[in-house]
A and B are shown apart, each in its own frame.
Chain A
Amino acid sequence: MTFLRDKLFPVTTVLLIILALWYLLAIFLNAPFERDQAQRSGTQLSTSQLIANTMHQERPVLPAPHQVAEEIRKTVFDVRPTSKRSLVYHGGVTLSSTLLGFVMGTLLGILLAVGIVHSRTLDKSLMPWIIASQTIPILAVAPMIIVVLNAVGMTGLLPKAMISTYLSFFPVAVGMVKGLRSPEIMHLDLMRTYSASASQVFWKLRWPAALPYLFTSMKIAVAISLVGAIVGELPTGAVAGLGARLLAGSYYGQTVQIWAALIAASLMAAVLVALVGLAAHVVNRRMGLQASEARR
Chain B
Amino acid sequence: MIKPLLLVIAVWLVAWFSVKSLAGLRLASPRGQRLVDIAIPILFGVWLLVLWELVVRAFGIPSVLLPAPSMIWARIISSVPTLWADFRQTYLKAVVAGYVLGCGSGFITAIIVDRVPFLRKGLLPIGNLVAALPVVGIAPIMVMWFGFDWPSKAAVVIIMTFFPMLVNTVAGLAASGHMESDLMRTYGSSYWQTLLKLRLPAAMPFIFNALKINSTLALIGAIVAEFFGTPIVGMGFRISAEIGRMNVDMVWAEIFVAALAGSLSYGLIALVERAVTFWHPSYRN
Contact = CB atoms under 8 A, between A and B. Distances in A.
A136 B23 contact: no
Contact of A151 (B45, B65, B254): B65
Contacts of B45: 129
B contact face: mostly helix, strand, loop, or mixed: helix
Contacts of B122: 10-14
B263 A132 contact: yes
Contacts of B259: 135-137
Given A121-B20, A135-B262, A231-B224, A246 B132 contact: no
B52 interface: no
Tell which of B126, B134, B262 has the most Cβ of chain A within 10 Å: B134
A137 B262 contact: yes
Given A11-B125, A148-B64, A262-B137, A125 B229 contact: no
Nearest to B140: A250
Nearest to B48: A129
Contacts of A219: 132
Interface string A241-259: 0110011011001010011
Nearest to A133: B259
Contact of B223 (A140, A246, A253): A140
A7 B134 contact: no
A194 B24 CA distance: 28
Given A61-B144, A143-B240, A259-B141, A121 B136 contact: no
A137 B23 contact: no
B44 A125 contact: yes
Contacts of B140: 246-247, 249-250, 258
B227 interface: yes
A266 interface: yes
A288 interface: no
A234 B236 CA distance: 12
B166 interface: no
Interface string A193-231: 000000000000000000000000001100100110011
Interface residues of A, number: 60
A6 interface: yes
A6 B239 contact: no
Contacts of A246: 137, 139-140
A125 B133 contact: no
A18 B125 CA distance: 14
B274 to A, nearest CB: 16
Given A152-B65, A266-B134, A270-B133, A140 B141 contact: no
A11 B228 contact: no
A139 B136 contact: yes
B119 interface: yes
A269 interface: yes
Given A125-B23, A223-B133, A235-B243, 15 more contacts: A13-B122, A121-B19, A124-B40, A132-B263, A135-B266, A137-B258, A139-B136, A139-B220, A151-B65, A220-B132, A247-B140, A250-B229, A255-B141, A269-B133, A273-B132
- Please provide the 8 A-B residue pairs with the shortest distance between their CB atoms, ordered closest to farther: A10-B122, A250-B140, A14-B122, A125-B44, A128-B41, A10-B121, A223-B132, A136-B259
28 contacts: A7-B121, A7-B125, A11-B126, A13-B122, A121-B24, A123-B23, A125-B19, A125-B41, A125-B43, A125-B44, A127-B41, A128-B41, A135-B262, A136-B262, A137-B259, A139-B220, A139-B223, A140-B254, A140-B258, A144-B239, A148-B248, A151-B246, A230-B137, A249-B140, A250-B143, A261-B137, A262-B137, A262-B141
